[in-house]
A = this chain, B = another copy of it.
Amino acid sequence: MGRGDLEGTVSPSGRDELARKFVEWRSLVLDASRCPVRDVLDRVGDKWTTLIVMALAGGPQRFGALTRAAPDISKRMLTQTLRNLERDGLVARTVYPTKPPSVDYRLTALGGAMLEPLAALIRWAEQSHPAIVAARRRFDEGPAEESAA
């Protein structure tokens, strides 16, 4: 079956690992309908989490500083995102009973551990973006006449 061959140019290491992971993963999905990976990845997926984590990578930040760091986030969403991160133990919230009150947020050790894999993904995203944009234009313009001989 010549149609089933894998291209050899793709790094096989990550591929193999993922393939195995997927098998475990799938059974978890079937069992619990809420596997660990999805549980955590859903957070990464939502609109603001990664942005906030990145903003906190440089050190503790106050609420207002975070607002300025991501000007297009609403207070509502910022609060909610921070609450989720705090709930998950990725971010620590500290209230200083000054007047007016000030609060700062910092990554916990658990949250800090996310930075490396996140950086890897972001590095990939940056590198691939031109190719992706090009692919999109090709897809949107060309009628996409592909089929097997």
Contact = CB atoms under 8 A, between A and B. Distances in A.
Interface of A is mostly: helix
A106 to B, nearest CB: 8
A10 B107 contact: yes
Contacts of A114: 124, 128
Contacts of A92: 146
A120 B122 contact: no
A58 B19 contact: yes
Contacts of A87: 135-136, 139-140
B110 A132 contact: yes
A21 B119 contact: yes
Interface residues of A, number: 91
Contacts of A77: none
Contacts of A110: 128, 131-132, 135
B14 A132 contact: no
A115 B115 CA distance: 17
Given A30-B71, A71-B30, A18 B120 contact: no
A22 B58 contact: yes
Interface string A86-127: 111110111111000000101111101111111111111111
19 contacts: A3-B96, A11-B116, A15-B58, A19-B54, A19-B58, A21-B54, A22-B55, A29-B70, A29-B72, A44-B121, A88-B135, A89-B131, A89-B134, A89-B139, A94-B146, A95-B148, A113-B124, A120-B120, A121-B121
